[in-house]
A = this chain, B = another copy of it.
Amino acid sequence: VTGGDQRLSRASVARLSLYLRHLEMFGREGIETVSSGQLGDALRITDAQVRKDLACLGSLGQRGIGYPAAELIGALRRKLGIDRHWPTAVVGIGNLARALLRYRGFPQHGFRFVALFDSDAAKVGQRVEGLPVHAPADMPAVIAASGAELGIIAVPSEAAQETADALAAAGIRGLLNFAPVVLRLRRDVNLVSVDLAVQLEQLAFLVHLAGGE
């Protein structure tokens, strides 16, 4: 790990993902060279910020010409660690998990679902999107056999902490948590939480502000 990597904030990492998303769209439109201004317009930030963010990728762009889109896509994927496959397990096979399993953005970006778990005995043994649902007790064996490295927690809040502990004990080092609770994790387990109420609150705040104008 270089010092440069460690200094990247979560906000910059999120922007790197968004640059990648826009570059892929530009690519589909046949655009081969992209300026920092175009990327800045797309993300509604300054081109100076874009150049600062992309500087961590080394010297790619040419002054006055722009960035070669394909090279920039490759560099972003390498930087983000998604120039490879990430085998991923999902725990809690309800509506959210089914939506995630069908979400095309995941396989498009290297995330491959390899193992499903649910504590409901009625679901264990069923196949969902082509994958069998396993009992939580089988987690260590199934995780090891599947090679899963990331885990998605889609269980109810009250089961989220024990699910996180079980995934960590089974060797998972990265958790994406959708339960609206704060998880306490071992230092060697990384966590990204998606609290959907926080997102909706941000939106309400924007509308609230605009309404006050």
Q: B-contacting residues of A (Cβ < 8 Å)?
A: 1, 5-6, 10-11, 13-14, 16-18, 20-22, 25, 42, 79-82, 86, 88, 94-96, 98-100, 102-106, 108-111, 149-150, 152, 157, 173-176, 180, 182, 188, 190-192, 194-213
Contacts and interface: CB of A to CB of B under 8 A. Distances in A.
> Closest 3 CB pairs between A and B?
A81-B208, A105-B197, A96-B99
Contacts of A152: 200
Nearest to A106: B197
A interface: dominant SS:
helix
Given A14-B198, A102-B95, A192 B203 contact: yes
**Which of A14, A80, A86, A206 is the most central at the interface, judged by chain B CB atoms within 10 Å of its CB?**
A206
Given A81-B207, A195-B17, A205-B81, A200 B150 contact: yes
